[in-house]
Structure 1
Amino acid sequence: MSLLHTFKRLLKLTLIGLLCLSLIITPQMVWAANVLMMTSLKEFETDLGNATLKVEGIDSNMRLAVTPKGELTVSQFRAKQITLRFKPTTEVTPTPPAAKTPLPAHINIPLPFHLLSGQIDRLTIIQGTSTTEITQIQFDLDADNQALQFRIAQALSPWGKVSTQFQMQNAAPFALNGWLDVQQAHTELPYHLRTELRGDLTRLEIAANHHYQPQARPFAIVPAQTEAEDMLQINASIGLDDTRQSHLLVHLRQLQAKHIHPQLAGHMDLKIVADGSLTEQGQLLATIDAGDSRLQGQPLIVRGNATLQGAQLTQMELLAQLDKNKLTIQAGKNPSTAEITTLSWQAELANLAQLMPGFAGQVKGTGTVQQSTSGFATTYQLSGQQLQLPQGLTLAGFEAEGQATNQSQGSLKNQVKLRGLSQQNARGIDSPPIDAEFNLTGTLAKHHLALTINDSDPLLQRNLLLALDGSWQADTWQAQLTQLQDAKGKFFQLAQPANLQWQNEQGFQLQNLVVNALSGQLQLDQLRYRPARTANAITQQPAEKVQFSTQGALKAFPLQALMTWLVPEHSEALPADHLRVSAQWKLALDEQLNGTLHLERASGDWQTYDTSEARWQGLGINTLFAEMQAQNNRISVQSSIRADSTIDLQFSGNTVVTPTANGIVIQRSAPISAQLKANIAQLGWLAKLMPDMQPAGQLSIDAQASGIIAQPQLQGSLQGQSLALQVPSQGLWLEQGNLHATLAGDQVNIDQLHFAGKTGELNGNGQLVFKADRWQLDAAMQLTKLQALSRVDRWVQLSGNTNISMTSEQTTLSGKLKIHKGLFELPKADKPKLDDDVVIESPQATQAEPTSKLVFNNFALDFGDKPLILPFKESEQFMLRGQGLNGALSGNMQLNGGLDELTAAGTLEITGTYIAYGQSLNIETGRLIFSGKLPNIGLDVLATRQVESTKVGIQINGSLQTPQLKLVATPDTSNENKVSLLVLGQPMSQVGSSDMALLSVAAGALLSQGDSVSLQTKIAQAVGLDSIDVRGSGPTNYAVSVGKRINRNLVVGYEKSIVGLLNVGKLTYQLTKRISIETRTGSDNALDVFYGFSFD
C-alpha cells in the first residue's frame, strides 16, 4: 500500500509542478523580471489572469554592471517572499473568444541581462484550501531577444530537493525544452525523479521513466535508462491555453507482486489514461486497464472508466476480478439532484487465499457511498465464513451491516457479529474460540456503543460486557464508560463511570477508571496516549515522538484468578488463597522516560494443579517484591522472591532505554549493570510448574554483569548439587547430578556436569559465549554405559563422545555413540496416510515455525557386531520388537544434514525372527544399506522356514521405496508350491479345496505388502490391463485370468489354469443393462447368454 500511496504523491507533485511552470513561464513574468532588475522596488504584484503573483522583501543591494557588449549583469538578487495564488473560478473574468489575444511574436527585452545568483527565501503556492511552501530557492537567469535560460540549482519542497533547467526561444510559440529533478531520501519509500520537458507556451510535453527497486538505497525509485521490470512510465501533454486540454498516461509496467506482499507471486501491468480539461470546471475522462497482469498464477482483470467534472466524480464503472474473487463499483450523479454522487459496490470474494497470503475463507458484501456538499453517508452489508487471518487467527464466520455518516445529526446504526474467533500459539494449540457482538447506534453528536464477548463453548463461561455513551464534536470525541464487567458481575465490575476523550492534537485520555475484582481493585487515575507525529514540511512542524503517561494502583488484585479466567486450563475452581498483588505506578514517556513502579504480594500463593493427585498446590511464596525507577531514561530495577525455605532470589539491575518514534527500546549499545543471587534449596517445586518433569536437587547462583547489552562482562558462579531429572513419560532417568560453572568476561564456562543413570554415567563440559550479535554454546559429553532411557517398551545403554554446538538458529550434533544394548518396541502398524504430494489445506491447521534447526555432522552410531552364536542372549543386544519382528540390530551408520535433508551412510543388520501368517521365519540375511538421502535405503533381506526337506522363504531386494520381492526355495520348486509351503506348511499337492481360497488371499496379501491396492491390480495397471485375477476351488481348476476393456460394452479376456489344461480366450459384450453375451474359444468353445439381476 505504501508503494501505491507514493505513486499517487509523485503524480500529484508532477502535475502541480507543471501547472506552476505553465503559469510562471509567461511573457508577463519575463517583463516583471525586467522591471525588478531595472528598478529598486521593494514589492511587486501583478495579475497573471487566473492567478496573482506578489513579490515581497526585495533586497535593494543588487549589484548591477554593464558589459562592453551592452549586456546587463546582475550578480545578486534576493526576495524574502513570493506568493502565487490561483484564483477561484468565480474570480476569473471570462474572456470572449473574439477578445482572446494570441501570444506575442516575441518578448521585448530592452537590454540583454544575466542574473548570476538569485535567491527566494520562500515561495507560497495557494490553490483553493491547499497551500504549498517551497523554500531556499537558488536560481539564475539569462535573457535576450533570442532566448531565455532559467535554472534552479536547489529548492526545498514538501516532496524533496528540487532542481530544474530549461531553455525557451524568444519567438512565438516560444519553444522550450528542459528537465525537472526531485530527490527525497528521507521517507519510507525514497525516490529520485527526473522528468523531461518539451513543447512551447501553447502545449507542454513531459516524459518520465522510472525503475522501482525497493531494496536499494539511497533511492528506491530512480530514473530508468533501459526497459526492465518494475517500471513506472508517465507521459503527459498539457495544454497551456484557457481550456487546458490535456492527455495523461501513467503505466505501471511489470511490477512484481512480491513488492506488495513477499508471498505474492506474479506481476501487475496497470495503465491509466486520462483526457480532458484541467480547468477547475473542466471535464476529464479516465480509463484503467490491468492488461496482462497475473497474480498467484491467475489472470488479474481490472477494467474501468470514470468522468470527473473539475474535482467532482460524476460517473465511474470498475471491475476487478482474480479467479473466484470479484469486485464491482459503479458511481454516478443522483438523477433527482446533481449535487449528490452515489457509489455502489459489490464484492464476491470466494477464495481469499488467492488474494493475499496468510488469508483464507470467503467474504461477500454490498454497500453504497453517497457524497454531497454537506458530507457523505454510507451503507454496507458484509458476511464471511471459514476465515484464516494473520498471526494465527481463525474465524468461523462474521456478519456486519449498518449505516454511517460524517454529518453530526446523521443516523448511525452498525452491528458486527463474530463467531468462533481463535488464535493458535507457537506450539500449534488453538485458544478456546470466542463469539463477539459490536453495536453502535445513535448519531455522531450522541451515540451508544456496546460490546459483548463470550466463549463459543458455554461450559467455559468467560464473558465480557462493555458499554459507553459518546459524542463527537469538531475534532474531539468524548465518552463515558458505563459498563465493564463479566456477564453477571461476579468476577469484576466497573465501580463508577470513567471518562474517555480523543483529540486530534492531544490524543487519547482515560481518567478515573475503577474496577472491583473479587474483593480487590484496579484504580487507573489517568492514562494518556498521543501517537507519534511525522515532520510537516509545509507547516515547518518538526517530528514528535509518541507521548504516554499513566498513573494508578492495584489493591489486593487477584492476579492469578484473572489469568485463570482469561486462559482456563482446568475445570476445578481455583482455591481461595490464590495470589493477590498490590501495586502503585506513575510513568511518563515523552522525550524521556520518568516514573516509578512498585509491586508486592498482598496475600495468597501461586497455585499449580497436580494432575496426578487431582488437586491444587501452592508454591509456598511468602515474599514477592519488584520496584522500578526511571529517571531521564535511566532505569533501575530491584526484585525479590522467597518461598518458604526452598527459594531465595534477589535481583537488581540498571540500564538505559532509548525513546523511539513509537515507544522505547534498549539499544545493544546500552550500558548494563546487574546482580543476581539465587539459592534454590529444593528444585522439586519446579515440578508444580512442569508436571511432566520431576526435577530435584539444590542450585545456587551468584552472578554479576556489567558492560553493554551486546557484549556483557560476566562474573560469578553457578553451583548445583544432588541434581536429578526424571521424565516418566519418556523414560528419562538422570540422578546424582553435579554442576559447576564460572562466569568470566563474555563467557559462561561449564567446568563440570555429571549425571548418573540407572547404570553408567554422563560427564560433560562446555562454554557459552555471548558475541556482539549472537550467542553460542559449545559442549562436549562423555557417556559411559549410561542407561538414560528406562521404560518397559524402550531402554538403551550407550557409551561414547558427543559434541553439541548450539545457537539461536541451529543445533549441531557430532561425535560417535556405541549402543551396547537396549530395546525399542515398534508401534502398531501405521494407519494409512496420504502421499507427500497430497496437501490438505485447512485454515484450522497451520504449522508452527520451528524455533531452531537440528543438524547432524558426521554423527556415528555403532550398534555392535552381529551375534555369531544362535540363539543369542536378547538382554545383551539392542532389540527391535513388534509388528511380528523380534531381532537384534547390529552394524554402523553415520548421519549428516538437517532433519529435512538427512543423509545416512552405512549398513545395519537384523538377526532374529519374523512372524507372518502364524509362521515364524528365521531372518538369515537382514541388511539395511544406507547411502544418500533418507529414506533411500537399500534392502537385502532373506527370511526362511524349514518344511521337511525344503527351505522356503521370501527374498527382498531393491530399495525401501521400490522393494522387489520374490519367493525362494531350496531345492527350487514351482511358485505355487512355494506359496503353499510358506503359508500352509505343505506342498500344493496336499492342499485341500477348502484351503485354496485362503491360499489365494494370502498370496495376494503377502506379495502386496499390506497396500490398499492389491498386487493383482498393481500388475494389471503396470502392463496396461484392467484386471488380473487368481481363482479356483482346487488344484485342477485353479486359474489366472486377465481382462482388457475395449469400450464401455466390449471386454476381451484370457484364462489359463495353473495346473490343468484350461486355456481359453473370451469375448464379452454387454447388450443391455441386464443381458450380456460371452463367446469362448480354445480348450473350451462356447456361446453363453447371461441375464443378471440383483436383490436390494
Structure 2
Amino acid sequence: MRRRRRLRRPLVLLGLTALALLLGSMLLTTQSGGRWLVARVQTAWPGLLHCTRFEGRLIGPLTLHELALASGGVQLRVERLHWDWHPAALLAGRFDLGALRLEGVQLTLPADEGGPPTPGLFPSLPPPPLPVRLRSLEVAGFALHQGGAVWSLESIVLAGALDTAGLRLEQGRIAAGPLVLELGGHLAAAAPHALEAQLHWQVTLPQLGQLTGEGELTGDLAALRLATRLLAPLPLRLAGTLHPAEGPRFDLSGEWSDLRWPLDDAARAQSSAGRFQLSGRADDYRLALAGPLELEGIPALELELSASGDSSSLQAQQLSARSEAGSLVVSGRLSWSPRLEFSCEINGQQLDPARFHPDWPGELDLAGKLIGVAPETPQGVWQYSGELEYLRGSLRGFPLAAAGGFRLAGEVLSLEDVRLHSGSNQLELAGQLGDTFDLALAVQAPDLSSLLPGLRGSLAGAGHLSGTRTAPRLQGDFSGQQLSWQDQGLARFMLRATWDGEDEGQLLLNGEGLHAGKFRLERVEAEARGGLSRHDLDLRLRDEAGRQLLLVASGGWREETWQGELRELLLAGEPFGRWQLAGIVPLTLGTELLAMPAFTLNGPDGATLSGELYWPWAGEVAAQARLQGLPAHRFAAWLPEGLDLGGELSGRLEVRGASEALRGEGRAEWEEGVLVASLDKEGPLRIAFSETALDFSLTPVAVVLRLACGLPLDGILQAELAAETGANGSTPLRGQLTARLPDISSLAGFLSLAAGLAGQFSLDAELGGTTSMPQWSGDARLSGLAARLPELGISLREGWLHLAATAGEAPRIEGSVQSGDGELQLQGEFSPGPGFAWPLALRLSGDRLLVADLPEARVRVSPDLRLERRNNVWELDGTVQVPQASFALEDLPQEVVRRSDDEVLAGVGPESAANGKGSGSFRMRLQLALGEDVQLHGFGLTGRLTGKIMANSDEGLTTLDGQLNLVDGRYDAYGQRLVIEQGRLIFTGPALDPGLDLRATRPLHDSAVKPYLLVGGRGRAPRVTVSSEPHLPEAEALAYLLTGRALNRAGQQEGSAMAEAALALGVSRAEPWLRQLGAKFGFNTLEVQSTTGAWGKSAVAVGTYLNPDLYVGYAAGVFDPGGAMLLRLRLGERLELETRAGTQSSADLFYRFERK
C-alpha cells in the first residue's frame, strides 16, 4: 500500500509531463493547434495582432493571410506571410530563420513631429542569445506611409546572419521603379558600429537610358566615407563623408568628364570636365560648381556657381558664364516653400552677338532684374516682372541703347517706358495689353537697315491703342518708303487710323509697288469707315499687267463674327476677262461660320459663275457652284505659241456633309472642243474633241477624278485618278489611263517638218503608290510610223516605239525607224518620281542611216549616242560616223551677209542656261568622224573631206577639237584650175572660228615660176596672201597665178580679171595692185568704189579722159552681175552734166561752188 503511494507521485508528474508534451506537440505540429494559439493571442491582446486565416504548422512551414500588427502608432499589414524555418537548429545552439516571404506589405509610421535630432543615436547592440541566420527574406510589394507621403518598393531580397560580432549582409537587392540596388557588407555590433559595404546600382530614365554605377561605404556610423562612380553612360565620380549622427551632416565632392546631352552623337550640350562640392546639412548647405559648357550654336562657356541653401530655398551668390562672346553674371534666390518663386539680377559685359550670328557684330553691356512668383492656387497664374536698367554699346556698327520694364500676369502685359535707340532710329513703347488696352507707340526710323540685317527703307509714325478687346480704340498715322525684307517689299505706303471703337472711325491704307517673290501688285488701296458694329470696306488691287480687283462691302462685328453685305466685286484682266458680281450678296465670316447665299458673277462673252456657300466649322456643310459659257480660248495663254482653243467650258460642283466627313460631286464639260494650230502653211489645223468631260467625286475616304474624251478619227482618251483623304503623310494613289488613236495623221500639222504622217498609238497604264513615290505600270505603243521630211528629202518608214512599265521597276523604252537602207534603233529606261525631273538613259544607234537626200546633199550616218538625264542635267555622249556623203553646192548668193563678231543670239549661251528657262542644263561630248567617201562639189571646189571633230558643250558654251582635211582638191576660179596641195580646217576652240591652213597652186609647165595662194589665220579673220617660187612681188605672183604670164605680158582683158581677183583678196591689199595695173594699160581711173556700210554695192571702176572736158568710164559690180556706162561732160567752170546707163539710167546736173 505504501509502495503504491510512493509510485503515484512520479506517475502523476510523468503523466503531466507527457500531457504537456502532447499538448505542445499538438500546438507546434498541427494546423489546428496553430490556429488555436493565434486565436488565443488575438483574444488576449486585442488590436495587437489580427490574422484572417492560418495555414500550416508553427514548426513550419506556415502561412498567414491578412496579417495586421499595431503598436504605439505603428501599423504593419501583410497580405500574405509564408515562413519555412528550421527549429532543429535550436538543438545545435543556432536560430535558423530559413526562408521568409512577405507579400503586399504596408508599414504606417506616425507623423514626424519635427523635433531636433538627438545625437548619439547608435548605441551598442545587445548580443543575441543565439546566432541568427536568415537564408532568404523576400518582400514583394512594400509601401511606407508617413504624414501623407508614400514611399514604395517593388521588391526586397535579403540574406545574412547576426551574431555577437554584428550583422553580416550576404545578399541584398532592392527594386524601386526604375532603380535596382544591390548591396552587401558587414556592420559591427559594438558602437560606433564599423561598417563596410559594397553597392552596385542601375537606373533606367527617359532619354538617358540605363545608368550603371558602383560604390563603397567604409568607416562607422559616426563618420561614413562614401566613394561612388557612375560607370555608364556618363563618367561621374562622387566621394565624401557622411555623419549620420549629426543631423545628418555631409561633406561631398565630385567630378565629371565628357558629359553630353542628348547622349547620342548629335549632342547639343557638352562638358569636357568639371567638379562640384556639396557640404553641410539638409537645412544648411553650400554648393560650388565649376566647369566648361558647350551649347549648340553658342561659344564655349566657362561656368562657375557659388550657392547656399536650406530646406526651403537656394541662394545663388554668383553664377557666372564667360566666353568669347562676353561675360554674364547672375545672382539671386530660388524658393520652394511656402511657394515657388525666384528673383535674380543679371549683369553682362562686352557681349558680342556675332558669336551667335555673324550678321550681328557688336559690343554690348547690360544690367537688369527678373522676378517670378508661382500662383498660390491651381486656378492662379504666374506673375513676372522685370527691369532692363540699361542695354548699351554698338551693334552692327551703329550705337545702340535700350531700357524699360515689364509686368506679366496671365494675359495682362504692362510695358513701362520701353525705349530703343539704334543709329538714327528711335522706338518708344508704354502702356498695357490685356482685357483693356492702353498702349502708346512712337517710331522714327529713317534708316531701318540699322535695326535688322536685310531690312531696308524708312518708317515713321505714332499711334495709341485703347479701349477693350471687344471695343478697341485706335489713333495712328504711319508712313514708309522703299520698305523691303528678303524677297518682299513695298515702295511706299501710308496708314492712317482714327477709330473710336463705336460708330465713327476711318482706317485708310495706300500702298504702291508691293511684291512678294514673283507676286507683284502695282497699287493697293484699302479704306474702312465707321465702327466695329457698323462699317464700310473698300479694297482695290492692281498688278503690273493691269489686272485688278475691286471689293466693296459693308457690315459689322458681332462678338467674333462679321456679318454684312458684299456690295461690289470686280475681277478684271487677261486671260480670264472681266467678272463682276451681280447684285448685293449677304456675307457672314467668323470663327464658327462662313456663309454666302446665292451669288452670280457675270463674265466675258456671256459666261457666268454662280453658287452659294454655307460652311460651319462644326456642322453640316452645303456649298455649290456652276460655270456656264466660258470660252475655252481663255486658257490658250498657257499653250505654246501658235495654238488656240475653241468651244466653251461649263461645269458644276457640289459639296455637303460634316466638315470631317465631306461628300461632293462635280462635272466639267468642254462643249464643241477644238484645238487650233496655226502651223500649217495651207491654213490653221483644227482638231476636234468630242464629248469631253471631267467628273469629280469626294467621299470621306477618297477623292476621285474621271476624264473621258473623244479624239479625232475614232480615238478615245479615258482616265481615272483616286487619292485617299485623311492620310497622314504621303497620300496613297490609284488610277488608270487608256488612250487609242488609230490614225495619227491628224497630228501632222504640229510637225512642221513632216508630211504624210501615218501610224497608230495606244496606251494602257495603271497608277499606284503615293504622292511622294508614285508607281506606274502599263504599256504604250506607237506602230506603223511613217512620214516624209521634205526639207531633208527623206522618208521614214516601219517605225515603232514601245514603252513598258512594271510597278517598282524602271520603265523601258524601245523603238526603231528606217530611212533609206539604214535603220535607227532606240533603247533606254527612265525613273518616274516627284515633279518631272525624271532620270533618263537612252541609247540611239544605227548603220548607214539616210538623213538627207537632196540635190545639194546626200548624207548617210552611223550614230552611236547615249542621252542621259541625272539631277536635271542632260548629257549627250557618243560618236556619229559619216561613211558616205556627197555635197553639190551652188555658188554663194550674189549678196552675202556675214555674221558680225559682236552678234549675240538670244537664248543661246550660258546666260540662257543660267536664267532657268530651260528644262535643266545640257552637256555634250560628241565625236563626228568622216569616212573615205565624203565628196564636196561647189563654189568651184571639188575634193574629198576626211577627219574627226570632237564637240564639247557645257552650259551653252560649245567648243570643237580636231581637224577636217580636203583631199584631192581642185579649185576653179577666174577661168583657172588651182590644185589644192594642202587644205585643213583646225578646230581648237569656238565652233565658228576654226584655224585655216590652205595652199593652192597653178601648175605652169612652160615656166620656172610656181605661183600659189595661201590662206591662214582663223575663220573670223582669215589672211590671204599670194606668193611664188622663186619669190616675186605680189602683183607679179598674182599675174602668174591668173594668167600664167608675167604682169608686163598681160592684156587688158586679163588685167580686168586680175583687178577682180585683187578685189576678192581684199580691198586694202588690192589698191596698190590696181594702181599698177591702171598705169600699165593707160587708164586714168582703175579703182574700187564702195558705198559706205554696204560692201555688197562695191564695184571695180575703169575709165579715161578723151579730152580735158569729156570723161568716159565703166563700173562692174563685184557682187552684182550688172554694170553701168558713165559719161561726164564739163559745161563750164562750175557746171557739169553726168549721165549713167545700166540696169537703171539717170542724168544729173552738178553745180560746184567753194566757200572760203
TM-score by length of 2: 0.52
Alignment of 1:385-784 (within 5 A): 398-404=491-497, 408=501, 411-416=505-510, 418=512, 435-442=522-529, 445=532, 446-452=534-540, 464-469=549-554, 471=556, 476-478=561-563, 480-486=565-571, 491-498=578-585, 503=590, 512-517=598-603, 518-526=605-613, 551-558=623-630, 560=632, 562-563=634-635, 578-586=647-655, 595-601=663-669, 603-608=671-676, 610=678, 619-643=687-711, 645-656=713-724, 659=727, 665-666=730-731, 670=732, 672=734, 674-686=735-747, 696-705=757-766, 708=769, 710=773, 712=775, 714-724=777-787, 735-736=796-797, 738-741=799-802, 743=804, 745=806, 746=809, 748-756=811-819, 762-770=823-831, 775-782=839-846, 784=848
| C-alpha distance in 1 between matches for 2:419 and 2:973 | 76
Number of positions where the alignment pairs a residue of Structure 1 with one of Structure 2: 764
Partner in structure 1 of residue 851 of structure 2: 787
- Deviation at 1:343? 1.6
**Separation (CA, whole Å) in 2 of partners of 1:891 and 1:421:** 57
CA distance in 2, matches of 1:464, 1:813: 49
Structure 1 residues 406 and 703: CA distance shift in structure 2, 3 A:
farther
CA change 1:705–1:372 in 2 (3 A) is closer
Cα deviation code 1:791-819 (max 9, x no counterpart): x9x97733103333333624333443234
Cα distance change of structure 1 residues 747 and 339 upon mapping to structure 2, 3 Å threshold:
closer
Matched, 1:199 2:306: yes
Provide, for residues 245-264 of structure 1, a one-character-per-residue CA deviation record: whole Å limited to 9, x for no partner. 4213654335677xxxxxxx
Task: Specify whether residues 975 and 527 from structure 1 end up closer, same or farther in structure 2 by C-alpha distance, changes over 3 A only.
Answer: farther
Partner of 1:833, secondary structure, is coil
Label 1:691 to 1:965 Cα distance change in 2 as closer, same or farther (>3 A): closer
Aligned to 1:285: 390
In 1, distance between residues paired with 2:1037 and 2:598?
91
* AA in 1 matched with 2:580: Q
Matched residues in 1 for 2:982 and 2:657: separation? 77
Shift of 1:640: 0.9
CA apart distance, 1:861: 0.8
Look up the match of 1:60.
149
**Partner residue in 1 for 2:995:** 939
Please name the residue that 1:296 is paired with. Answer: none
Which amino acid is 1:816 matched to? T
Offset at residue 685 of structure 1 (A): 4.2
**Structure showing greater Rg:** 2
Over 3 Å counting, the alpha-carbon distance change for 1:903 and 1:484 in structure 2 is: same
Tell me the amino acid that sits aligned with residue 765 of structure 1: L
Matches within 5 A, 1:130-529: 170=280, 176-177=287-288, 196=303, 198-200=305-307, 201=315, 203-207=317-321, 235-240=328-333, 244-248=344-348, 251-253=352-354, 268-278=360-370, 280=385, 282-287=387-392, 289-290=394-395, 301-310=397-406, 312=415, 314=417, 316=419, 318-319=421-422, 328-331=425-428, 340-347=440-447, 355=454, 364-370=457-463, 378-384=476-482, 398-404=491-497, 408=501, 411-416=505-510, 418=512, 435-442=522-529, 445=532, 446-452=534-540, 464-469=549-554, 471=556, 476-478=561-563, 480-486=565-571, 491-498=578-585, 503=590, 512-517=598-603, 518-526=605-613
Aligned to 1:1011: none
Tell me what 1:297 maps to.
none
C-alpha contact (below 8 Å) 2:736/2:767 kept by paired residues: no
Partner of 1:805: 867
Identity of aligned residues (%): 11
Aligned match of 1:861: 928
Name the residue aligned to 1:984.
1070
Quick one: structure 1 residues 442 and 615, their matched pair in 2 at CA, closer, same or farther if it must change by over 3 Å?
Answer: farther
Residue 642 of structure 1, CA deviation: 0.8
* SS at 2:758 equivalent: strand
Could you tell me how far apart the structure 1 residues matched to 2:635 and 2:474 are? 44
Q: Distance in 1 between matches of 2:284 and 2:903?
A: 77
Segments of structure 2 that go 5 or more residues without pairing to the other structure are 1-108, 114-145, 157-165, 168-173, 179-200, 207-237, 308-314, 335-341, 372-384, 408-414, 432-437, 468-472, 1039-1058, 1096-1154
Alignment deviations for residues 74-96 of structure 1 (CA, whole Å, 9 cap, x no partner): 99999xxxxxxxxxxxxxxxxxx
2:346 partner amino acid? S
Cα 1:243/1:590, change in 2 over 3 Å: closer
The alignment yields a C-alpha RMSD, in angstroms, of 6.7
> What code does the residue aligned with 1:873 have?
H
1:800 partner amino acid? S
1:833 equivalent in structure 2:
902
Q: Is the 8 A contact 2:679 2:685 kept in 1?
A: no
Checking the alignment, whether the CA contact within 8 Å between 2:511 and 2:523 is kept in structure 1 is yes
Amino acid paired to 1:414: L
Output one character per residue of 1:656-685: Cα deviation in whole Å (capped at 9) or x when no partner: 46645xxx753xxx463x433322234344
Structure 1 residues 823 and 310, CA, compared in 2 at 3 Å: closer, same or farther?
farther
SS of the residue 2:635 aligns to: helix
Q: Per the alignment, do residues 620 and 168 of structure 1 end up closer, same or farther by CA in structure 2, a change over 3 Å counting?
A: same
Which AA in structure 2 matches 1:275?
A
Preserved CA contact (<8 Å) 1:580 1:604: no
CA distance in 2, matches of 1:694, 1:58: 101
How far apart are the structure 1 equivalents of 2:756 and 2:915? 31
Per-residue deviation, 1:472? 5.0
Change (3 A) 1:490 1:717: closer
Residues of 1 paired with 2:480 and 2:322: CA distance? Answer: 42
> Helix, strand or coil for the counterpart of 1:237?
strand
Contact 2:448-2:457 within 8 A present in 1 as well: yes
CA contact (8 A) 2:673 2:692 kept: no
The SS at the match of 2:632 is helix
- Show the 5 A alignment for 1:881-920: 890-895=946-951, 898-899=954-955, 904-909=960-965
Distance (whole Å) between structure 2 residues aligned to residue 412 and residue 776 of structure 1: 61
2:1041 — aligned with what? none
Cα distance, 1:648 vs. partner? 1.1
Gaps spanning 5+ residues in structure 1: where? 1-36, 42-56, 79-115, 122-139, 210-226, 258-266, 291-299, 321-326, 357-362, 425-430, 531-545, 880-886, 1007-1094
- In the aligned structure 1, how far is the partner of 2:595 from the partner of 2:972? 77
Alignment of 1:959-978 (within 5 A): 969-970=1027-1028, 971-972=1030-1031
Letter in 2 for 1:805: L
Contact 2:1078 2:1085 in 1 (8 A): yes
Distance in 1 separating the partners of 2:972 and 2:507 = 74
Matches of 1:811 and 1:860, distance apart in 2: 17
Superposed displacement of residue 557, structure 1 = 4.3
CA distance in 2, matches of 1:876, 1:596: 77
Which residue does 2:1016 correspond to in 1? 956
In the TM superposition, residue 847 of structure 1 has moved relative to its aligned partner by 1.7
C-alpha change, 1:586 and 1:755, in structure 2 (3 Å) is farther
Q: Does structure 2 retain, via aligned residues, the 8 Å contact 1:913–1:923? A: yes
Distance of aligned partners of 1:923 and 1:984 in 2 relative to their CA distance in 1, 3 Å threshold: farther
Higher strand share: 2
**TM-score w.r.t. length of structure 1:** 0.54
Equivalent residue letter for 1:956: G
For 2:485 and 2:904, how far apart are their aligned partners in 1? Answer: 25
Q: CA deviation at 1:624?
A: 1.4
- Equivalent residues of 1:367, 1:378 under 8 A apart: no
